[in-house]
Structure 1
């Protein structure tokens, strides 16, 4: 589908979390009208209809994932099954019915509870600004196989977390620098470095808006089963505190985050 410069510039001004949906709808309506070129008038017409019908489009939650399933070369974990399990938990929580009972007037997309899953620390799906962010993680672990001091692990680590001895052998990984991306283990040709614990990092309480806030990470790397139970716990907390459609981040105090940290320590 061909877009004029004016039409393309206009759709880029739409909030990013609905931009893809608006763009798809514009192209659908233009195609149904028998046209092959999107103009500024088409964008404005579709946008007006979309905003008018927004309340009927809201489903109570948003669940995003990166494009790891289609071949991301950086993926640390495979999250397709986790996405399906979290989708079932969120659908079962009847967040749409909950929001309708709490929010006066029409529902907007910003009322929805948002979860984002990224298969690696590059975090293309922006988990740091969602109610719950989930990031694939793999912890490096040393084996008994002698290091040949080839330097491959150090070269692969963008965080400079791999510590080398005077002879160039890998001797340790700085936990404070490591983001658990798995690059050093993948690069090691001898098996000196291997994958230890594998799972997901979990962040809570991120949002944009007038008072943006980055999500805070709960310590530990959690398996898929634990992540699903954590999501159910977060949703129960959210539904017990939200009185008029506040975001999860608005409800969380430092004491609440500390309580979640203690509960889900791994």
Structure 2
């Protein structure tokens, strides 16, 4: 739908964490009213109604993503199916109902449990500042295909994690962000992305006391990530007694406990080396 310049400018002043919802509501109400072009008046009217009835708009959780399956050229691993499963899990857990029982007073958007997905390390959805952060990954592995010594893998890596010798490429996993760019650049197939998974970060937030999410050591498959999210939701509901955010409850000790519980299910060893696949 077409927006006037003034309307679009006004929308940018809406807090980013509710901007998408407000924009959708503006367009929805404009269609119902038969409006073909959204004006500043339309934005202000909807925004005022939206914010005055904030509690009605609080779903209880947010699942956010960047370009992802919509066409991100940097995609390491798509998360569309996992996003759907996590959304269904949060719906089944009735997070809004839980908040209504535990929060004193009206529900606010900051009470919502936030999960963000990004399909590559560029992380356009800013997942590092969410309660749970899931980033697509592909583990580069050396295949048996001969190396042509072209050096494309080296030049493609912004982290300088790939080196090339007469024996072929080598990966420094302490530098590697498992983005898969070296795999895409390798025309001979010497570098292969056989195992795809996800990085998981927990406990991020903005606000008065911001904190970046803490990354679990390892790369995990879809089923393991789903189990980690389910574990964190159970933790959250058992600890949040008056609307406290996940990140204020999730301590370094809790992070360590989760890391230990799920470390055996990582696709790579804790030192970054690749686990041997079961035959």
Match of 1:226 in 2: 224
Match of 1:174 in 2: 172
The runs of 5 or more residues in structure 2 that have no matched partner are 267-279
Residue 196 of structure 1: CA displacement? 4.2
Distance 1:27 1:88 in 2: 26
Contact 1:162 1:170 in 2 (8 A): no
Match of 2:185 in 1: 187
1:143-183 superposed Cα distances (whole Å, 9 cap, x missing partner)? 23332210111122122211123x6x643111122111111
Partner residue of 2:254 out of 251, 256, 264? 256
Match of 1:123 in 2: 123
Normalising by structure 2, we get a TM-score of 0.89
Match of 2:59 in 1: 59
Distance 2:184 2:192 in 1: 8
Q: 1:42 to 1:130 in 2, by over 3 A?
A: same
Map 1:23-34 onto structure 2 (within 5 A).
Answer: 23-34=23-34
Aligned length: 264
Task: Tell me whether 23-32 or 249-258 shows the greater mean CA deviation.
Answer: 23-32
Map 1:6-155 onto structure 2 (within 5 A).
Answer: 6-155=6-155
Match of 1:243 in 2: 241
The runs of 5 or more residues in structure 1 that have no matched partner are none
1:99-127 superposed Cα distances (whole Å, 9 cap, x missing partner)? 01111111112111111111111212221
Match of 1:200 in 2: 198
CA RMSD of aligned residues (A): 1.7
Match of 2:270 in 1: none
Distance 1:81 1:47 in 2: 32
